[in-house]
Amino acid sequence: MKDCLKSLYDAQGFLTAVPIINPKEALAHRSILEAVEAERGPMHYQFKIHTAMNSPFKLATLPQLLDVIEQLIGPNILLYNTTYIIKEAHTESHVSWHQDLTYWGLDSDAQVSVWLALSEASEASGCMHMIPNSHINGQQKHHTTEDANNVLLSGQTVQGVNANESVVVSLTAGQASFHHGWTLHCSKPNVSDDRRIGLNIQYINPVVKQLKQQQDSAILVRGVDDYGHFQTDQPALSNFDKKAWLRQQSLHTKLKRIQGDNQ
Ligand SMILES: O=C(O)CCC(=O)C(=O)O
């Protein structure tokens, strides 16, 4: 099973429908998110949300999830970022064809992104589509586009992608997909009656360096960090701690500058 996951990931650039938690647990985490939203407003695309809320930190450090990450990037694991990506029912919000690593400023692809479904992510609710094997040739040219409904910060888009080659990455609540930073992927609007809620979790191997900014940060969640390239983020201990929220806002702004700056 172990070698099987890694070789499938290496071959196609992603894994899909990996069971991580059961639907009841997914619903419990969704309910926490919705309680926070009721008090603080929308939580879509808030970076490093695990430094403000304990629920995403708990999810990002689940041993069964880290066991898969370990197979993909090795035993030493930094938690770099977590972000809820939410599409409300019957909205135009979408994500254009892109590769994650393009604007992150990292010097290495020793990295993996997880998308953990907290509600059904079906074709109708706007799940991701991925192009198998597209990670093999590294970075492709991205164009900045203006589209208020594109979730991506700069509307970054790879043009000319043959959508006929894509795989629909549908997930039930509690399942996750895993994708490489050069895998081409996109997602379409949510035409279903429910919200589509995913927790995007980015992990890196400590060997990775940030080239765009001196002081980037992460949390060692397994193994050892023999490099010290990243300062240490503080994980949230609860979901409603005011000081933690203030810290998260400043981390959010910093990371938004890094990931939205396409120079
Ligand atoms: O949530 C989506 O629709 C897109 C997510 C995405 O692009 C990612 O997780 O890298």
- The range of the structural domain enclosing residue 116 comes to 2-260
Phi and psi at residue 191, to the nearest 5° = -100, 15
Number of domains in the chain: 1
Among protein residues, the one with the nearest Cα to ligand 1's atom 1 is 85
Cα 126 to the chain's mean position, in Å? 15
pLDDT tens, position by position, 6-30: 999 999 999 999 999 999 999 999 9
pLDDT tens, position by position, 154-187: 888 999 999 999 999 999 999 999 999 999 999 9
Closest of 9, 20, 235 to residue 116, by C-alpha: 20
Pocket of ligand 1 (CB under 6 A): 85, 95, 100, 113, 115, 128, 185, 187, 198, 200
Please give the model's pTM, rounded to 2 decimal places.
Answer: 0.96
- Residue 100 CA: nearest ligand 1 atom is 10
Share of the chain above pLDDT 90, in %: 89
- In the predicted model, is pLDDT for residue 263 greater than 50? no
- Residue 198 CA: nearest ligand 1 atom is 1
Residue type, 186: C
Q: Output DSSP code: residue 238.
A: S
pLDDT tens, position by position, 207-249: 999 998 778 999 999 999 999 999 999 999 999 899 999 999 9
pLDDT at 259: 83
- In the predicted model, is pLDDT for residue 258 greater than 60? yes
How many angstroms does the Cα of residue 226 sit away from the middle of ligand 1? 31
d(CA 251, CA 46): 10
| CATH number (domain holding residue 126) | 2.60.120.620
- Residue 126 CA: nearest ligand 1 atom is 3
